[in-house]
Amino acid sequence: MKKNTRSENNEKLNNVNPNFNENKETLKNNSTNNTNNSNTGNREPAPVSPVSNSPGPNASNSSSDSSRPGCSDTSNPCSNSSSSRSSKASSSSSENSSSDSTGPLCPPGSSAVSLDKMTVNIPGQAYPIYFTSGYLSRCGDLLRQHLPETRKVFIISDDNVFPLYGSQLIASLEEHGFTVSSGTIRPGEASKTLETAAGFFDELIEQHFERNSVIISLGGGVVGDLAGFVAATYMRGIKFVQVPTSLLAQVDSSIGGKVAVNHPRGKNIIGAFHQPELVFIDVATLSTLAEREFITGMGEIIKHGVGFNYDYLKFLQQNAAEIQQQNPDLLLQMIYGSCNIKRKIVEEDEKEKGPRARLNLGHSVAHALETLTDYTHLTHGEAVAIGLVQEARLAEKLELISSDLVQEIITTLQQYSLPVELPSGASGDKIPARDILTAMASDKKSFQGKVSLALPSDPGECQIIRDWQEEDLLQILSS
């Protein structure tokens, strides 16, 4: 771990707290200047086109607009009204999800000088998710508004992201009176360990961080999981803020409060639920993301369409080329859409005691593959893509879905250059199916000694299935 301590900024705080419109949830810029990113690194931030100033389909203050086209327009699958999602345990030991085509998929209308806001309403701890493009310099202002009494901040990042965005974030925080320290890790799952977390505990103790202090995660999913774990366990829990810079983290791991480190026998086995104080998503940070890392985020995004919103899946299919070219309007729509799908599920089941387990669609096989390949051969999104296909094939065998839907899932993943077949192991041979099942048995999603699988059941729907047969999955994994 590398560390960097900055001295306190004693300038007077400009602690203006604007009134948020919770329906429209758009926060206008309080300043006229946007700080440019002047950091250095292996890959400089590329210019990002400003987001359109025209109002989006949800620009009305009303939370419902019956005159607006619905999600049948799959090139722009937005909807204003929010509906609840039900989950029932059936006689076959399954919990169902319904396709939620009525949930808002798109932000209320963004511009380079505004922030769109979504609120995660968890009992006792509602927190906002902010969306913007090219406006990381606003983060310190927002953090001061939400945490007016906090003084000390510790940024946890990695050696790739911190040179690109660390200075800009530190400057924004110091401008608003925070004392900032930082530490970085080597990128990758290999750094997500108890040993790495212990190094940060040493730093926090040495620098006298208190329960009123805050840890900020600046980076992708690995950094967010590790930083959140440190925040959840230091002094039995201190404040935590997510500033995700990878697509995977922006649409998935930064939302919902799951934090963890890995164990040699399983991924994310040691962890907690620890909700952030806020999440700040700047899609402009994706311009410095390696192509493979951008594509890996699409694995989780496609999962959201497959299991929770079929219109969203169609949106991803029809806009695949422009999304991969990082059209900023489409990126905001897509990221907002995935965040909203996950938000509603987290609100329904924060601690994953029931319906939230549906978000593990594709993950049982995926986590086994990551473990068996030592977290080095596949990215998380690539493993999820492969897991989606294998688990969809099992769903077909169980007569939950048609072969046409299985092929549609495969085709969508291939549109984004994601893998769909099982990888080879260290020997160069295909990973044995029995090894995958053995690794799955250690999964934290086990129930009474058996892994509960989230399987697709209809377009845009999934179920929790507990009564599947190992022989069926063995046959699929061996084919």
Task: Identify the CATH number of the domain in which residue 110 sits.
Answer: 3.40.50.1970
* 236 a catalytic residue: yes
Q: CATH number for the domain including 363?
A: 1.20.1090.10
Given the structure tokens 């094939």, which residue do they identify?
393
pLDDT higher for 58 or 460?
Answer: 460
Active site residue 138: no
Task: Tokens 């049948």: give the residue.
Answer: 72
* Candidates 144, 344, 380, 393; catalytic one: 380
* Confidence at residue 96, expressed as pLDDT on a 0 to 100 scale: 43
Over residues 298-323, mean pLDDT: 97
**Same structural domain for residues 399 and 287?**
no
State what percent of residues in the chain have pLDDT above 70: 74
Burial class (CB in 10 A: 0-12, 13-18, 19+), 148: exposed
Phi, psi of 222 (to 5 degrees): -65, -50
With bands split at pLDDT 50, 70 and 90, how would you rate the model's confidence at 353? confident
Catalytic residue among 352, 382, 391, 396: 352
Which range (66-80, 231-245, 263-277) has the least confidence?
66-80
Q: Clarify whether 356 is annotated catalytic.
A: yes
Report whether 219 contacts 161 (CB < 8 A).
yes
CA angle 199, 39, 142 (to 5 degrees): 75
- Retrieve residue 80's tokens: 């204003």
Residues 6+ positions from 18 with CB-CB distance below 8 Å: 27, 28, 30
Give the chain's radius of gyration (CA, Å): 22
Q: Is residue 348 annotated as a catalytic residue, yes or no?
A: no
Regarding predicted confidence, which is higher, 160 or 441? 160
Q: Which of these is catalytic: 12, 28, 88, 236? A: 236
Give the tens place of pLDDT for each residue, 176-215: 999 999 999 999 889 999 999 999 999 999 999 999 999 9
Residue that finishes a domain, picked among 347, 372, 401: 347
Answer yes or no: do 177 and 280 share one domain.
yes
Domain boundary among 322, 347, 372: 347
Judgement on whether residues 327 and 430 belong to the same structural domain of the protein: no
Q: Is 391 a catalytic residue?
A: no
pLDDT of residue 426: 61
19 and 157 together in one domain: yes
Q: How far is CA 412 from CA 298, 299, 302, 361, 384, in A?
A: 10, 10, 8, 16, 13
**Cα–Cα distance for residue pair 80/104, rounded to 1 Å:** 5
55 inside domain: no
Residue 263 is a catalytic residue: no
Residue 342 appears among annotated catalytic residues: yes
**pLDDT over threshold 70, residue 295:** yes
How large is the average pLDDT for residues 165-180?
97
Domain membership of residue 139 (yes or no) is yes
Residue 51 resides in a domain: no
The active-site residue, picked from 268, 347, 360, 382, is 360
* Per-residue model confidence (pLDDT) at position 39: 33
Closest CA to 4 of 209, 180, 242, 239: 180
405 and 380 within one domain: yes
- Which of the residues 95, 174, 277, 300 is marked catalytic? 300
Assess whether pLDDT exceeds 80 at residue 42.
no
In this structure, are 174 and 306 located in the same domain? yes
Q: Tell me: the pLDDT tens digits for 378-398? A: 999 999 999 999 999 999 999
In a domain, 186, yes or no: yes
Q: Are 243 and 215 in contact (CB under 8 A)?
A: no
Helix (H) or strand (E) holding 302: helix 291-308
pLDDT at 428 (0 to 100): 67
Residue where a domain terminates, one of 347, 382, 409: 347
Burial (0-12, 13-18, 19+ Cβ within 10 Å), 214: buried
Instruction: Say whether both 179 and 308 belong to one domain.
Output: yes
Q: Of the listed 363, 370, 396, 461, which one is catalytic?
A: 363
- 145 within some domain: yes
What is the distance between the alpha carbons of residues 356 and 344, in angstroms, rounded to a whole number? 9
According to the model, what pLDDT value does residue 449 have? Answer: 65
342 pLDDT more than 80: yes
Establish if 343 belongs to a structural domain: yes
Average pLDDT, integer, range 150-167: 97
Q: Give the pLDDT confidence score for residue 177 in this predicted structure.
A: 97
Residue 195 appears among annotated catalytic residues = no
Domain hosting 174: range is: 2-38+85-347
Does 44 reside within a domain? no
pLDDT digits (tens, 9 = 90+) for 83-140: 333 333 333 333 444 444 334 455 545 444 467 899 999 988 899 999 998 889 999 9
* Residue-wise DSSP of 228-288: HHHHHHGGG--EEEEEE-SHHIIIIITSS-EEEEEETTEEEEEEEE---SEEEEEGGGGGG
Catalytic residue among 356, 370, 382, 461: 356
- Rounded CA-CA distance 122/99 in Å is 22
Q: What are phi and psi of 290, to 5 degrees?
A: -60, 150
Contact 268, 255 (CB under 8 A): no
Q: What average pLDDT does range 408-435 have in this prediction?
A: 90
How many other CB atoms sit within 10 Å of the CB of residue 204?
A: 21
Same domain assignment for residues 274 and 389: no
Catalytic entry in 176, 342, 343, 393 = 342
Tell whether 370 and 221 lie within a shared domain: no
For the chain, give the percent of residues with pLDDT over 90. Answer: 63
Catalytic residue (choose from 258, 304, 314, 358): 258
Q: Which two tokens stand for residue 442?
A: 């250690």
Q: Does one domain contain both 266 and 131?
A: yes
- Assess whether 363 carries a catalytic annotation: yes
Alpha-carbon gap, residue 63 to 68, rounded angstroms: 12
How many secondary structure helices (H) and strands (E) does the chain include? Answer: 14, 16
211 as an active site residue: the answer is no
For the cut 60, the answer to whether the pLDDT of residue 417 exceeds it is: yes
Domains of the chain: total: 2
- Encode 303-325: b = buried (16+ Cβ within 10 Å), e = exposed: bbbbbbbbbbbbbbbebbeebbe
Average pLDDT over the chain, rounded to an integer = 80
pTM, entire model: 0.77
Same domain for 381 and 300, yes or no, is no
* More confident of the two residues 263 and 156: 156
Asked whether residue 277 is domain-assigned, the answer is yes
Which two three-digit tokens encode residue 279? 């999440």
Task: Choose, from 319, 367, 370, 408, the residue flagged as catalytic.
Answer: 367
Q: Does 360 lie in the same domain as 314?
A: no
Name the phi and psi angles at 27, rounded to 5: -105, 115
